[in-house]
Amino acid sequence: MKKYTVKIDGMMCGMCEAHINDVIRKIVPGAKKVTSSHSKGISTFLAEEVNEEKLIQAISEMGYTVLDIESEEYKKKGLFFH
* 18 is an interface residue for Cu ion by CB under 5 A: no
Nearest distance from C-beta of residue 79 to Cu ion, angstroms: 37
For 61, how many CA atoms within 13 A lie in the half-sphere containing its CB? 9
Is residue 77 classed as helix, strand or coil in its secondary structure?
A: coil
Query: With CB under 5 A as the contact rule, which of the stretches 16-24, 43-51, 52-60, 68-76 interacts with Cu ion?
Result: 16-24
Residue 15: enclosing H or E segment and its boundaries? helix 14-27
* Region 23-62 residues binding Cu ion, contact defined as CB under 5 A: none
Binding footprint of Cu ion on the chain (CB under 5 A): 12-13, 15-16
